[in-house]
Each structure stands twice: as structure tokens, then as C-alpha cells.
Amino acid sequence: MRGYLAALKCVLSRPQWQTATARRIPVARLAFAAMPMRVAVCISGRGSNLAALLNALTAEAPARVVLVLSDRPDAAGLALAAGRGVDTAVLADPADAGEWLAHLERAAADLVVLAGFLKLVPGSVVARFRGRMLNVHPALLPAFGGPGMYGARVHRAVLASGARESGATVHLVDEEYDRGQILAQERVPVEPGDTPERLAARVLEAEHRLLPAVVLAAALAGRPVALPSRLELSR
């Protein structure tokens, strides 16, 4: 709930909400003003960011996960989703745009979230969901992004560079890896003696705060929006 209220505060601080009418709308009524945003989450592994989203999207939240897609039938996140009553599907061919669109349209998805999904999304799928597809990345883009930069590779590269901080980024998806508009970032200091594993664990905690905040803000605004650069999220 604290993450939900933080996202709400971010959206309401934007100029388009700063009218006499908007200021009179009670928070509870605003949250229920429209049908919940329908979110499809795409995963390749255990689904820890999926779990963070499911935990954040409580019954009163303005968004809910309606589908979990994976390119791997053995992805642990599929069982997690099924256990929470969320529909799941496995892509037989992740390069087949028609298969993607059939699943997403059947679920009536409003927003697509790539949460540890490692394949490049077909261009026609990106085009169909232009401005409505998000990715979470375990570094401060535009640094340490692009093809092959995922998982431990990212954290090894950060440490090898001598960077003094890393973090998490949520951005819009376009036709290239990790190059869409940045919507939000949370910075994580690199500590003396850090290993890729230790750094990864702290960055993952940041991802678990940042991604739900961006999704909730998108649901409240009706579309993905950039969050303040100095966003303070509850730890």
C-alpha cells in the first residue's frame, strides 16, 4: 500500500492534476474512477519482479495482472502466477508476432511489462503496444544496456568499469534493446568490496520498488508516465 500511495502522490503532483476539480477528488474515489488497467507480464525466469507486482496490486489498486507470458515452459514464475490465479501462456516461438498478439488480445491487455524477459519482442508487437510496453533493467540506462546485457553480466560490467553507483531503470520498449524512453530510475551505491552477486541483490530490491510504482502511476494516469527524477520509494 505504501508503494501505491507513493505512485499516487507522484501522479497527483503533475501539472495536469493541479486544478481545483482534481484537488477536490478524494483519493479513494480516484482509485476506483475507472476499470483497473489490465497488465500482461512477460518473464523468462523465476519471476521475482512479477511477485513484487502481484504483491503491490492489491484489491484496491487501479491495475491488475491478467496474463503472464514466458518464452520458457520451465520458468518458475509461471507456477507463481498460476498459484495466484493468473492466466499463463508459453510462447512456442517468441519471434512469432501473431502468437504474441493472439495472447495479448485474448487477455485484453492494456499494458505489457517485460520483467526479466530476455528475448527481443517482435517489432510489430512493439508497434501495436507503442507507449504501452515497459521493461525493467538492472542498471542505470543508457549505461550498461543493449544486446547481451542482462543478469550477472550487467553487474560484472558495472564493477569492472569502476562506477560508483548502479541502480534500476524502467523504460518504454522500442525496437532495440534498452533504448526506449526512461520513465524512472532508482540509484544504488556500489560498495567497497562488492561482488556481482551482492550488487545484484541490492539492485533487485530497487527493481521491486520501482516497477510497481511505475505500473501504478501508469494506471492512475491512463498511460505510462515519467516519475520524478528524485523519487523517494518506501524501503
137 classed as catalytic? yes
Catalytic residue among 137, 155, 171, 208: 137
| Distance set, CA 217 to CA 6, 48, 226, 228 (Å) | 9, 20, 9, 11
**36, three cell numbers:** 483497473
Closest CA to 43 of 34, 35, 52: 52
Buried b or exposed e, range 168-177, using 16+ CB within 10 angstroms: bbbbbbbeeb
Q: DSSP labels for 103-116? A: HHHHTT-SEEEESS
Catalytic residues: 137
